[in-house]
Amino acid sequence: MKKRWLIILGIVVSLMVISSCTNQESQTDNDVNDETEITDPQDQDDASEAVRNPGTFIQATLSSVETLDLHFMTSAATTMLSYNVYDSLISSDVQGNLSPLLSLEVPSEENGLIDITESGETIITFPIRTDVTFHNGLALNPEDVKYSFMRGIISGSMSNLCQGLTEEGSFKSLIEKHGLEKAYQLLDNAITIDGQNIVFKMPRPFSPILDIIADNGASYGIMSKQWAIQQGAWPGTFDNVEAFIELTDQTNALHAKMMGTGPFMLDSWQQGERVVLKRFDDYWQGPAQLERVIRQVFADSSTIVQQLTIGDIDFANLDLPEIDRLDGLEGIQVVRDIPAAQLIKINFNFDIKGDKYLGNGQFGESGAPSDLFSDLDVRKGFSYAFDYDVFINEVLMGGGIKPFGPVLVGFPTANPNNPQYYFSLEKAEEHFRKAFDGQLWEEGFTLGVPYNEGNNARQRALEILQARLSEINPKFRLEISSLPWASYVQEINAQIMPLSIFGILPRYNHPHFALEYHMHSDGYYARIKSYSELAREKYDALIEELATTFDEKRVEELSHILQQYSYEDALAIFHHQVIGQVAMRDWVQGYEITRFPFLVDYYKISK
């Protein structure tokens, strides 16, 4: 499998554009609207004879959307939308090359836009374009840029940027250290406006800073300040910041709204069903070829395969068994074995909130304690109880590889010699017997564990774990259920879920992304899985040094130490790294193979 992976990495060296092999006959799409219907196979004699709905691109997915607010998106399924609706200051291609976007230039020491003083203070200047308008016609200005970054950092979604600007991993940590008023002042002083420029003032160099914000609008997109305030969002002042920190989906004025400068704009959102985007004709780089994009949610992969076969949808990201069903069919183009920057892991929640999945909250056949996974031997027992080979070979049909740890295979500093857990009933039993001074082994537990509905691979992963735990000790019981995607994400973020299958999708090569996201006390997983205290004691200083050093050897050394710590502390079950498979109608042109196969740049697509 490792040899196969290295061959794949050698193939995908640059962006590859998938173009149609045959000329397709066009037809008008005047009758296509937001309620485009999915037809029955018998109603379509030969879908490949003509392009269906040539101005509309329909992408199928199993994952619904949890929010449309750029700064509260946590899943890749949702940030795919912001990628097409928003622009960031600078952009990055698959090889990591940076280009200007809403900034006229990519800052560097050579062009004078990065200035590192003798004391280490680092000043980065972004000259903002003057020829860009938002979807509502308002002109982009530096106030919009500052507002977007301030709001993103205060919301907690831009923790990486917060670390670079303030040396604290989150605005919450900044408050804990300095108090709310001083924290706000520090952030306000770190992002300033100088004429048509936005200026970052950092206390010391922060090596991944440009890579962080060059995400093409996925998380670091720029929204309209004036529009946001008109909707009832945070007005951008200290007086209202405390209320903004306490925001929920129910009180968030932007929960179902988007306003960017990107090539597509929000048309409609039917929660749990579809999101419709329409072309922004005044896009500053010129209008897209597509008029409309529909991101349609389906209940299962079999339905997606059926609808793709008859031509009622255009594109889908699928697992290998479904791809095998489509390969060779007339009118279908399949792209196999795409090395994806997507690591999927089963995450342990050290402090489970509520009792939804805990029964009576006690060891035994009626429940489990909320601190079940705070015991290292429990986490190690679960890690040895997962049958990695069966999952990859039988469930994924070889469509994945076992990762080394939190830094993905194929990325710089990923350590192939990092110790890994493996399937061993004996090792699992050894650790389970020691957990909670033997109480767990004697009394057992019953634990509820959900997966997102329609996701067969995640369901099977839990079923494999369920079966192996029962083999080890019949008193170890998992009760498996399903949730709609949006509810699944909400329960993860609310710390309700004991075990969650969620991943890491690093957007840049520097190991800082994966390690901060997985291990820093202010990173996503330490916060929602309640191991921030452990992270502060053991990981934070190393991750912060990693972010500030330009010594490549030291970066590798720090990365390897942190990967070792992740193993020692059994923070999650790293059960597979994705090898992506996509299928599309052969009339689709312009799809680019990237590290995120499911992320489609609609601006480059035509039919």
- Of 413, 345, 410, 347, nearest to 208 (Cα)? 413
Cβ atoms of 66 and 490 within 8 Å: the answer is yes
- In single-letter form, the type of residue at position 265 comes to M
C-alpha dihedral, 379 to 382 to 383 to 389, nearest 10°: -170
* CA atoms in the 13 A half-sphere facing the CB of 77: 25
The pLDDT of residue 412: 86
Q: Which domains does the chain have, with CATH numbers?
A: 15-20+51-67+261-339+580-604 (3.40.190.10), 73-245 (3.90.76.10), 340-579 (3.10.105.10)
User: Across residues 142-146, what is the average pLDDT?
Assistant: 98
> Has residue 68 got a pLDDT over 90?
yes
3-state class of 2 per DSSP?
A: helix
Pick from 593, 601, 603, 597: nearest CA to 13: 593
CB 563 within 8 A of CB 581: no
| DSSP 3-state of 191 | strand
- Regarding beta strands 264-270 and 274-279, do their DSSP bridges make them parallel or antiparallel, or are they unpaired? antiparallel
* CA distances (Å), origin 18, targets 142, 183, 196, 334, 578: 37, 48, 39, 10, 21
Burial of residue 96, with CB atoms counted within 10 A of its CB: 0-12 exposed, 13-18 middle, 19 or more buried: exposed
**Predicted pLDDT of residue 181:** 97
pLDDT in tens, 76-121: 778 989 999 999 999 998 777 899 999 999 999 999 999 999 898 9
What pLDDT, on the 0 to 100 scale, is given for residue 33?
Answer: 39
Report how far residue 490's alpha carbon sits from residue 486's, in angstroms, rounded to the nearest whole number. 6
* Cα dihedral sign, 407-410-414-416: positive
Beta-carbon count within 10 A of 256 CB: 15
**With 90 as the cut, is the pLDDT of residue 596 above it?**
no
Q: To 10 degrees, the CA torsion angle through 462, 463, 466, 467?
A: -150
Distance CA 562, CA 559 (A): 5
pLDDT at residue 502 greater than cutoff 50? yes
- How far, in Å, are 166, 171, 187, 236, 409 from residue 182 at the CA level? 12, 11, 9, 16, 41
Q: How far apart are CA 278 and CA 271, in angstroms?
A: 17
Please check the confidence at residue 209 and state whether its pLDDT lies above 50.
Answer: yes
What distance in Å separates the CA atoms of residue 42 and residue 310, rounded to the nearest whole number? 9
- Per-residue exposure over 173-212, b if at least 16 CB sit within 10 Å of its own CB, e if not: bbbeeeeeeebbebbeebbeeeeebbbbebbebbbbbbbb
Is a pLDDT exceeding 50 seen at residue 63?
yes
Residue 319 has what pLDDT? Answer: 87
Report the percentage of the chain scoring pLDDT > 90.
Answer: 77
How far apart are the two ends of the chain, measured CA to CA in Å? 36
Q: How far apart are CA 200 and CA 506, in angstroms?
A: 23
pLDDT at position 155 is 93
Distance CA 44, CA 41 (A): 6
Q: Which residues pair with 580 in a beta bridge?
A: 338
Q: At what angle do helices 456-472 and 425-434 cross, to 10 degrees?
A: 70
Q: Is the CB of residue 125 less than 8 Å from the CB of residue 113?
A: yes
Mean pLDDT score, 19-48: 38
- Identity at 118, one-letter amino acid code: E
CA distances from 523 to 163, 169, 279, 361 (A): 10, 7, 35, 28
The model carries a pTM of: 0.76
pLDDT digit string (tens) for 172-191?
999 999 999 999 999 999 99
Comparing 337-341, 377-381, 501-505, the range with the smallest average pLDDT is 337-341
Residue 530 has what pLDDT?
96
Half-sphere CA count of 40, side-chain side, radius 13 A? 2
User: What is the tens place of the pLDDT at every residue in 258-305?
Assistant: 999 999 999 999 999 999 999 999 999 999 999 999 999 999 999 999
Q: Determine the Cα–Cα distance for residues 148 and 305; give it in Å rounded to an integer.
A: 39
SS3 assignment, position 522: coil
Q: Which two tokens stand for residue 431?
A: 């650790």
Residue 248 has pLDDT above 80, yes or no: yes
DSSP state of 39: P
Transcribe 296-353 into DSSP letters. EE-S-HHHHHHHHHHTS--EEE--HHHHHHHTT-TTEEEEEEEEEEEEEEEEE-SS--
At CA 551, angle to CA 548 and CA 555, rounded to 5? 70
Angle formed at CA 546 by CA 541 and CA 552, multiple of 5 degrees: 150
Distances in Å between the alpha carbon of 1 and those of 97, 337, 423, 505, 579? 29, 12, 17, 21, 11
pLDDT for position 220: 96
User: DSSP readout, 467-513?
Assistant: HHHHHH-TTEEEEEEEE-HHHHHHHHHTT--SEEEEEE--SSSSTHH
Number of helices and strands in the chain (H, E): 22, 19
Cα distances (angstroms) measured from residue 106 to each of 103, 122, 159, 190, 198 = 7, 15, 22, 19, 13
Amino acid identity for residue 28 in this structure:
T
Confidence grade of residue 49 (pLDDT, cut at 50, 70, 90)? low
- Count other Cβ atoms within 10 Å, centred on residue 58: 25
What is the residue whose two structure tokens read 């015991």? Answer: 375
Confidence category of residue 435, pLDDT binned at 50, 70, 90:
very high
Is the predicted pLDDT of residue 249 greater than 90, yes or no? Answer: no
Mean pLDDT is lowest, of 41-50, 226-235, 265-274, for 41-50
> What phi and psi, each to the nearest 5 degrees, are found at residue 374?
-75, -20
Report strand pairing: 56-61 vs 315-317: parallel
Q: Cα–chain-centroid distance for residue 184? A: 27
User: Tokens 């004709």, residue?
Assistant: 281
Lowest model confidence (mean pLDDT) among 7-16, 42-51, 219-228, 391-400: 7-16
